[in-house]
Amino acid sequence: MTILAVAALYYATARLGLLQQLVRGQVTPLWPPTGIAVAALLLLGARVWPGIAVGALAVNISIGPTVASVLAIVAGNTLAPICSYLLLRRAGFHNGLDRLQDALALVFLGALGPMLISATIGSSTLVLSGALQAGGFWPTWSVWWTGDAMGVLVVTPFLLVVRWARWPPAVGLLVWAEAAALATCAVGVTLLATNASSSSLLFLVFPVLIWASFRFERAGAAPCALVVSTLAILASGRMAGPFAHHDLLTNMVTLQAFNGSVSLTALLLTAVVAERNRTHEEIQRLCAQLTDAVTRQDKGSRRAPPDD
């Protein structure tokens, strides 16, 4: 049942991702199923990999050029998340994303590195099958790699945070007002930055990410990064703002650099804040123990009989 649920979720999000396809109706700059696949492996274990393969097969069977090409693409789409999972587990990754090393591992071992597998296999398959001209390999490869890597960097942290999130027991009205202001600013500033003609305005989103990370930690930074990256991808898909008047490869490099910086900033800051909070709690605990020990010693010395 779990495997079927993973396959269904993979297929459903793949259909959404294909709405932003840029190459041959099947290559998109955001591929959410990869992020879902990595999150499913991290949360449920390697036993769910058939669900990833079935979901990828269901998506590609109707858009692949040939049966052999479809099987090759499905293999790449399955191997890349499995490789991410194995590398993250080997690195001692914590699903809570509460350490600096977890953030770095997710970026480099979970997203940027293993997604080279799916991008290379998929783009090579399209060229070898004749569905893509040889000159279109690198632009297609860049979109494919960007889409899979962004799926991991944007979707996986969000799902991990949602999995471990708990509704706060008591939150004041001011906190809710600040959260609403943060959400409004995240959407408004990103729309401004991604629709302005100058790419230099993209930096405006980073103060919002810093705000989300320090005030709301993972519960605020992960959704904020998801919103920012999604709006940037939509802008690149319609060649708007800083993505206008450039070729596909240049836009994918810009998009990958921007979204990678967004995800890295959010993940690193939340990890630093989490480590700082743990250190503060540990200091408080040790201070309480020391105070208790001193109090007990003082009481014992008062009860001791005087020496003759």
Taking the alpha carbons of 28, 30, 33, 34 in that order, is the dihedral positive or negative?
positive
Q: Is the pLDDT at 72 greater than 90, yes or no?
A: yes
Q: Is the pLDDT at 282 greater than 60, yes or no?
A: yes
Of 272, 271, 261, 179, the C-alpha closest to 228 is 261
pTM: predicted TM-score of the whole model, two decimal places: 0.82
Q: Is the pLDDT at 180 greater than 80, yes or no?
A: yes
- Where does the pLDDT of residue 167 fall: very low under 50, low under 70, confident under 90, or very high at 90 and above? low
- Show the domain range for 22: 2-288
* 8 Å CB contact between 77 and 112: no
102 domain-assigned: yes
Non-local (6+) Cβ contacts of 167 within 8 A are: none
157 domain-assigned: yes
231 domain-assigned: yes
- 212-231 mean pLDDT: 89
306 domain-assigned: no
Q: How many other CB atoms are there within 10 angstroms of residue 82's CB atom?
A: 18
- Where does the pLDDT of residue 64 fall: very low under 50, low under 70, confident under 90, or very high at 90 and above? confident
Q: pLDDT value at position 305?
A: 61
302 domain-assigned: no
- Which token pair is 121? 């296999």
- Where does the pLDDT of residue 200 fall: very low under 50, low under 70, confident under 90, or very high at 90 and above? low
Of 117, 128, 154, 124, the C-alpha closest to 140 is 124
**Looking at the chain, how many residues does it have?**
308
293 domain-assigned: no
- Where does the pLDDT of residue 23 fall: very low under 50, low under 70, confident under 90, or very high at 90 and above? low
Domain count, the chain: 1
294 domain-assigned: no
Helix and strand totals (H; E) in the chain: 11, 0
- Which token pair is 78? 């399955």
301 domain-assigned: no
Q: pLDDT value at position 304?
A: 58
